[in-house]
Chains A and B, each alone.
Chain A
Amino acid sequence: NAGVMQNPRHLVRRRGQEARLRCSPMKGHSHVYWYRQLPEEGLKFMVYLQKENIIDESGMPKERFSAEFPKEGPSILRIQQVVRGDSAAYFCASSLSDSHTGELFFGEGSRLTVL
């Protein structure tokens, strides 16, 4: 499958636990974006990364959330000490180019439920 791969597709955590969401971009893509989707809220931009660099994290909450995209391996969105308000679908997208004419290809999302 040459598409953007996200795992896990579904994740259940209790309040205070950590959640790690992984995203493998399309082959050859070195630009990764993370979005959060709440019901009837659309997609909210969180962070844009290139290999080993965070380019724009203006949408990331100031605490508990972090993202990385190492030289080798998938991009990781990490949420520490989860709270019920973190329950949402988290989507990853990748692109080939850093130009804003480039198309973003989306994964199928990871759905986090916090009990």
Chain B
Amino acid sequence: AQSVTQPDIHITVSEGASLELRCNYSYGATPYLFWYVQSPGQGLQLLLKYFSGDTLVQGIKGFEAEFKRSQSSFNLRKPSVHWSDAAEYFCAVFNQAGTALIFGKGTTLSVSS
């Protein structure tokens, strides 16, 4: 069965520093991968997605992610974090039937000044 692992439950980064959030997936074929962000009390917003092609994907709000098949990873990065980036981040993969997004447990990002 498909699964997503986000190894870091909570990360704190200084404002202006770079960020990398880890995501590992388990999937038999070519995965369809997503990163979503959730602010407190809100729904989820799509940051970026990967289906095929260029393994470095650009998203909104200055985020990017790199698909590495050999490592089964899809890590999210941002070169310079802003205080408004503090939120919970979820990595997700579509199941093989294409009927459901499977989410990781999320990583909470705190930004210190």
Contacts and interface: CB of A to CB of B under 8 A. Distances in A.
A99 B42 contact: no
Interface residues of B, number: 24
A42 B103 contact: yes
A101 interface: yes
Interface hub of A40, A43, A103, A107 (most chain B Cβ within 10 A)? A43
Contact of A100 (B44, B45, B90, B94): B94
B43 interface: yes
A106 B90 contact: no
A4 B103 contact: no
A6 to B, nearest CB: 8
A99 B105 contact: no
A42 B105 contact: yes
Given A42-B106, A59-B100, A106-B44, A101 B32 contact: yes
Nearest to A4: B43
Given A103-B46, A106-B44, A108-B42, A40 B100 contact: no
Contacts of A100: 32, 94-95, 98-99
A106 B51 contact: no
A48 interface: yes
A24 B95 CA distance: 24
A55 B106 contact: no
B100 A42 contact: no
Interface of A: 4, 33, 35, 40-45, 48, 55-56, 58-59, 91, 93, 98-101, 103-109
10 contacts: A33-B100, A40-B106, A42-B106, A56-B100, A59-B100, A99-B98, A101-B49, A103-B46, A106-B45, A108-B41
